[in-house]
Amino acid sequence: MEECIFCRIAAGEIPCRKVYEDDSVLAFDDIQPMAPVHVLIIPKVHVATVMDVDAARMANLAAMMEAAQKVAILKGVEQSGFRLVINCHREGGQVIFHLHMHLLGGQQLRNALN
Ligand code: AMP
Ligand code: ZN
């Protein structure tokens, strides 16, 4: 998976602004933030989309959710609020095909979903 940019970030081959890391998950600031807080949370193993999360990989998704709570606290938005988004495939707006969760906050977010 050397051609996958998020695998390369997870391997330390491409730099990122790391927010949180544990054995299975890495979280880093989005390079083109859409809100004052915009963090991407990824599994270190390659999973292409949320549709590829089978029973064996459900632990990765659980770890991403745990990491999201920690990132929210680290970024100081655990009380003010934030949004978690996973884009899937073309119409969902997925551009990078390595599973990732967006954590957005630090301002009042609008209800628009597009
Ligand atoms: P998505 O549209 O859900 O696939 O989101 C991909 C996200 O990855 C976008 O918000 C990009 O700004 C972000 N992104 C792309 N390359 C990098 C990078 N090298 N470091 C951090 N974020 C990135
Ligand atoms: Zn990957």
DSSP structural state of residue 35: S
On the question of pLDDT at 76 being above 90, the answer is yes
- The atom of ligand 1 lying closest to the CA of 32 is 12
pLDDT given at position 112? 67
Is the model's pLDDT at 113 over the cut of 70? no
Q: Is the pLDDT of residue 91 over 90?
A: yes
Q: Ligand 1 centroid vs 76 CA: distance in angstroms?
A: 22
Handedness of CA 53, 57, 59, 60 (dihedral sign): negative
Q: Which residues contact 34 (CB under 8 A, 6 or more apart)?
A: 104
Classify residue 80 as left (phi > 0), alpha (psi -120 to 50) or beta.
alpha
CA of 9 to the centre of ligand 2 (A): 9
Architecture category of domain 5-105 in CATH = 2-Layer Sandwich (3.30)
Higher per-residue pLDDT: 111 or 108: 108
Catalytic residue (one of 38, 98, 100, 102): 100
Q: Indicate whether 16 pLDDT > 70.
A: yes
Q: Enter the pTM of the model.
A: 0.96
Q: What is the mean pLDDT of residues 67-86?
A: 98
Q: How many residues does the chain have?
A: 114
CB neighbour list of residue 112: distance below 8 Å, 6 or more residues apart: none
100 noted as active-site residue = yes
Which residues line ligand 1 at a C-beta cut-off of 6 Å?
A: 5, 16, 28, 30-32, 40, 87, 93-96
pLDDT at residue 114 greater than cutoff 60: no
Which residue's CA lies nearest to atom 8 of ligand 1? Answer: 30
